[in-house]
Amino acid sequence: MVIIATDSAADFEMHELEEMNVYYLPMAVNFGTDSYLENISISKEQFFERLKTDENFPKTSQPAPALFEELFEKAKENKDEVVYIPLSTGLSGDYQTAMSVKNMVDYDGIYVIDSLTCTGGQRLLVEKAVKMRDEGCNGKEINDKIEELKKKTVIYTAMDTLEYLYKNGRLSNTAFYIAQLGHIKPIMHCAYESQGKAEIVSKHIGLNKAIKYIVDRLDEEVPDEEYPFYVMYTYDKTNAYKLAEKLKEKGVEVTEDRIIPVGATVGAHIGPYACAVAYIKK
């Protein structure tokens, strides 16, 4: 048997993971001394409600090594294969921890793939892995395909504010002040070409111009219609609907079930009211 596994940065809902038979390793979310497991003891909506009001800036941390050990040892014992698709190494140490535990377990049937992406991009890779598993592919076949596919994942995010990057220490006080004063809406990009790091690639005055930038990128990075096209949002769908409407004018229709919420792992950095796209390019 092939076990497909991922962490909570892929932003699946729990019922989706159960329906797809995907093994789930949750990230931890901490507000001061209060600790939660993402999507288990704190929902996406609860996280953002607290993010907006709590004086403690949240800290997220990768799944505990013991969770990997339990999964990998059991697979070894049962002679199962594991394909684990975690959050990008450019954003987390999740991949490195999984690799360390894999080496400790010393079992060739474990495949750990650095997704070099997050949220909807990571979701797309997991969905393809599940499809291949259900078609009877083995762990190596799935691994090889995902390693190729991850080079084609695209994520662009229009952020409503730089406040949370500033609170996280990733932005200077001066840069934050100027951005707030000028109503700057930055575009964040996470891709294979940037080694899975989240980078601000463009800045716009007003959200409408930021959304136009994302939609215009489809001319250069054309979506592969073989794969789903996702619109993501943090906390509130309003801006996601604006983005979806502009995509429709472009000829890309995004159904309601493909407008998905982003959780704590990524949301802690981009804040509420962001909107984004995730897809596989040709």
Lowest mean pLDDT among 28-32, 144-148, 176-180, 228-232: 176-180
Given the DSSP bridges, would you call strands 259-261 and 230-233 parallel, antiparallel or unpaired?
Answer: parallel
Lowest mean pLDDT among 51-55, 173-177, 261-265: 173-177
Given the DSSP bridges, would you call strands 153-158 and 110-112 parallel, antiparallel or unpaired?
Answer: unpaired
Burial classification of residue 103, based on how many CB atoms lie within 10 Å of its CB (0-12 exposed, 13-18 middle, 19 or more buried): exposed
Quote the distance between the C-alpha of residue 43 and its chain's center: 16
pTM for this predicted structure = 0.94
The model's pLDDT over 139-172, given as tens digits with 9 standing for 90+, comes to: 999 999 999 999 999 999 999 887 766 566 555 5
Could you give all domains of the chain from N- to C-terminal order, each with its CATH number?
Answer: 2-150 (3.40.50.10170), 152-280 (3.30.1180.10)
